[in-house]
Amino acid sequence: MTTPRPETLAKLTPVLTKRWLSPDAWRIGTYEKLDGYAALRKALKAHPDDLIQLIKDSGLRGRGGAGFPTGLKWGFIPQGDGKPHYLVVNADEGEPGTCKDLPLMTHDPHSLVEGVIVASYAIRANRAYIYIRGEAVHAARRLRNAVQEAYAKGYLGRDILGSGFDLELVVHSGAGAYICGEETALLDSLEGFRGQPRLRPPFPATHGLYASPTVVNNVGTIASVPYIVLGGGDWWKTMGTEKSSGPMIYSLSGRIANPGQYECSMGITLRELIELAGGMQPGHNLKFWTPGGSSTPLLTAEHLDVPLDFEGVAAAGSILGTTATQIFSDQDCPVYATYRWLEFYHHESCGKCTPCREGNYWMVRVYRRILAGQGTHEDLDTLLDTCDNILGRSFCGLGDGATSSVTSSLKYFKQDYLDYIEGRTAPKLSDKQLVGAH
Ligand SMILES: Cc1cc2nc3c(=O)[nH]c(=O)nc-3n(C[C@H](O)[C@H](O)[C@H](O)COP(=O)(O)O)c2cc1C
Ligand code: SF4
C-alpha cells in the first residue's frame, strides 16, 4: 500500500461524509450537535420558491446517474394546482458497484431526513417516501429509527417547528429488484403494482405517484440540500467544475488497496482516486474500469487522467453514472467480467420490451459459448448486432446500460475475445455451464 501525497489528500472534500466517523453519528443528538436541523430552521423562514432558486443557482445535479439539474426538476412541479404533491427518494441503489447511498443512510440518516423535509417544503409536498432497497435491512432500520426521532422532536408531522408546514414521511422497503430503481417502475412498485417502467410522457413532474405531481430524487441529491441551504450556492460551486458543481461520493471497489467511499470535488481523476485508496493491490496493474457502475462503458489505463465529472467522462466516451469506479487489473478478464454483468441484466430485465428481454437472453448464451472455448468469429458480430438492436430501442435505460460493457470491451479488448475463440486462453466455463448456449 502506498501513502497518498499531501496534495492529493487535500483533494478530499468531506461534506456529505463529514459525520460518518463520529461516534453514534446516526443518532439525532449527535446530528444536532454537528449542525443538524439548522438548515431546516433556516429553510422554513424562506419562501419555497427562493429555495428552488437556491438549488438552481447552486448547479446541483442529480446523483442518481443521469445528472439532471435538481432545481430545474423541482421547478417543473405545477404550483396552485390543488393536487397533492409528493417527494420520493430513490434509495434503491442497485447498480453493480455502487455503494454511496447505503453507507450514507447507515451512518448519517438524519442528513437525508432533513433534506427530505426541506425539499418537500420547497415543492409544497405534505407526504414524502423513501423507497429503500429490500435487502438493505440495516440501513432501513437506521432510517426508520431516524424518522421516529425526527417525529419525536417535531421535525416531522404537523406544524413543523411552528411553521404551519405539515409533512408525513414513510420509509418503504422494496423487494430487491434492480428495475425498481428506474423512477417510474419505482412509482408503480410504491403504488403496489409489479415494478415496470411507465411510458413517458407524461412525466412524474405532472403524473407521478397516484397520478399527482412528484419529484423523484436520489439519496445523495436530497442529502446535499441541507448543506446548500446552510453554505449557499456559491460555496457549493467552489467545489467541482463549471457544469458539475459540488462534491461527489466516489465508491471505489476492486483491485485497490483500500476500497471504500471517497468524497472529492467533481472532476477528480481516477489516478488521484487510486492514490487516495493506497494504490493498486500489490502485483496488479490497472487494465479496465467502470467510471459509474456496470451500465457505463468501460475505460482503460489510457483514461487515468479523465476528469470524473459529467462532461469529462462523456468526452472520453463513457458516462459518469453513479460514480461507482470498479477497478480491474491485468489479472482480470474483460470477457468474463462482461459476461457476469450480462447475467445480471438478463436476470433483472423486467421483460416488458422485446429488445432487452430477448437480446440479453441471447447475449448471455453467446458469452457462455465463447467462455467455454466454443465461440466463433461470427459471434463477435452477433454481439455487436444484438447491442445495436437493444441500444436506443429499449423501453428504459436498463436495456441501454446492458450493452455498455459489451460494446466497450469489444472496442478495447477484442484480442481477449479472440484468444478464447482461437484457443490461446483456456476456457473459463465448462461444457456443463454451456447448457442452452447453442
Ligand atoms: C435500470 C435503472 C435503475 C436505476 N436505479 C437507480 C437507483 O437505484 N437509484 C437512483 O437514484 N436512480 C436510479 N436510476 C435513475 C432514476 O431513474 C432517476 O433518474 C433518479 O432517481 C433521479 O434522481 P436524481 O435526479 O436525483 O439523480 C435508475 C435508472 C435505471 C434506468
Ligand atoms: S429495457 Fe428491459 S427492464 Fe426496461 S422495460 Fe424493457 S425489458 Fe424492462
Q: What is the pLDDT of residues 50-85, one digit of tens each?
A: 999 999 999 999 999 999 999 999 999 999 999 999
Secondary structure class of 334 (helix, strand, coil): helix
At which residue does the C-alpha cell 430552521 appear?
41
* Nearest ligand to the CA atom of 119: 1
Nearest to 55 by CA among 217, 271, 164, 268: 217
| The pLDDT of residue 433 | 77
Q: How far is the CA of 182 from the centre of ligand 2 (A)?
A: 10
- Stated pTM of the model: 0.97
Ligand 1: which of 218, 295, 341, 390 to mutate, most ligand atoms within 8 Å of CB? 218
At which residue does the C-alpha cell 462482461 appear?
338
d(CA 198, CA 204): 10
Phi, psi of 227 (to 5 degrees): -65, -35
Atom of ligand 1 nearest to the CA of 398: 1
| The pLDDT of residue 435 | 63
- Of 1 and 261, the structure prediction assigns the larger pLDDT to 261
Q: How far is the CA of 335 from the centre of ligand 2 (A)?
A: 24
Kindly tell me the burial class for residue 432, based on how many C-beta atoms sit within 10 Å of its own C-beta (0-12, 13-18, 19 or more). Answer: exposed
Cell of 259: 476500497
Q: What is the pLDDT of residues 251-269, one digit of tens each?
A: 999 999 999 999 999 999 9
Q: Report percent pLDDT > 70 for the chain.
A: 99
Provide the pairing of β-strand 127-132 with 86-91.
parallel
| Cis peptide preceding 282, ω within 30 of 0 | no
